[in-house]
Amino acid sequence: MVEPIVVGVTDAPAALRAVEWAVRRASAHRLPLKLIEVVGGAVGAIGEDEVLERAVAEARERVEATASALPRLGLKVYMRVDRGNPVEVLTDASAHASLLVLGSDHQGGSGGRRGAHGQRLAAGAQCPVVVVPDVDVSKRTGVVVGVDGSPASEKAIAFAAAEADRLGEPLIAVAVWTPLEAPRNMAAVYPAEYLENMEKLTAEALGLSLAGLSSQYPDLEIQRRVERGYPSQIINDLAASARLAVVGSHGRGALARFLLGSVSQDVLSRLATVTAVVR
């Protein structure tokens, strides 16, 4: 069975952007689309059932209206309205999804940290998660991917390269190196040889991670960036003018449902563009 792209639907404007993004990808990959809205917040108070029933009915109308407004073009669309914890319901749905797409009310920039639900879903989902901010990225260019040589990074590169090729955008692969902090080095003075070697090793690791992409995607423009600094800050700086950013998540085991790697968490909390988290 072909696994659908699952989209979390709400009444927020960003949710509509998430649906639009998911429709374009589903159409390009000929995948079905599944719209899910979850009515949560129940605490068991007297008289709550009537309120919940009305909320579920409104949610069902919203999902049906969203589905009916889609440009079908042969697209299969499924709908589901559920009651419960949105994070738990969507996390469970991710087990049978090729991609989970969410909207975020964050509108870019560095002011404020957002996206607790997006971070929790990205940490616990069993498929890649894409978080779409409430901002127009159609005039931006490039797909940014963070590279650190890990298995999660390799999967992020594969996802980003496929998307860049599909969109006809350059792939901007960035590897970031951070000098080792030493307690007695308060002035942050480092030997030139050390800095040069750090940059050289990072560039070599980046080259190894990208090996083979040109033969797989002969028309793909690949831009290599080796930067000094903190990874999430560099990635978000580049993502501010990009159509898509892709990062890997290093969460594993039981803790994966609650924690992301610090880089992916920081990137999501200061959402600069449409961002995919790949495990």
What does R_g of the chain's alpha carbons equal in angstroms? 20
Split at pLDDT 50, 70, 90, the class of 254 is very low
* Residue 5 or 266, more confident: 5
Q: What is the pLDDT of residues 182-204, one digit of tens each?
A: 555 555 678 889 889 999 999 99
Instruction: Count the alpha carbons within 13 Å of 254 in the hemisphere toward its beta carbon.
Output: 0
pTM: 0.87
Average pLDDT for the chain:
87
Give whichever of 92-96, 176-180, 254-258, 269-273 has the largest mean pLDDT. 92-96
Summarize pLDDT for 32-50 with one digit per residue, the tens.
999 999 998 766 676 678 8
What's the confidence (pLDDT) of residue 191? 84
Domains observed in the chain: 1-104 (3.40.50.620), 137-279 (3.40.50.12370)
Q: Is the pLDDT of residue 253 over 50?
A: no
> What is the DSSP pairing of strand 143-146 with strand 129-133?
unpaired
Query: What pLDDT, on a 0 to 100 scale, did the predictor assign at position 119?
Result: 80
- Alpha carbon distance 40, 80 (integer Å): 14
Least confident segment among 162-171, 216-225, 255-264, 265-274: 255-264
Please give the backbone phi and psi of residue 128, each rounded to the nearest 5 degrees, phi first.
-60, 145
Could you give the C-alpha distances from 106 to 32, 55, 134, 159, in angstroms and in order? 27, 25, 6, 23
CA–CA distance, 267 with 44 (Å, rounded to integer): 36
Name residues whose C-beta falls within 8 Å of residue 130's C-beta, 6 or more positions apart in sequence: 18, 21, 22, 99, 100, 101, 102, 274, 275, 276, 277
pLDDT band of residue 116 (cuts 50, 70, 90) is low
CB 18 within 8 A of CB 102: yes
Q: Length of the chain in residues, anyone?
A: 279
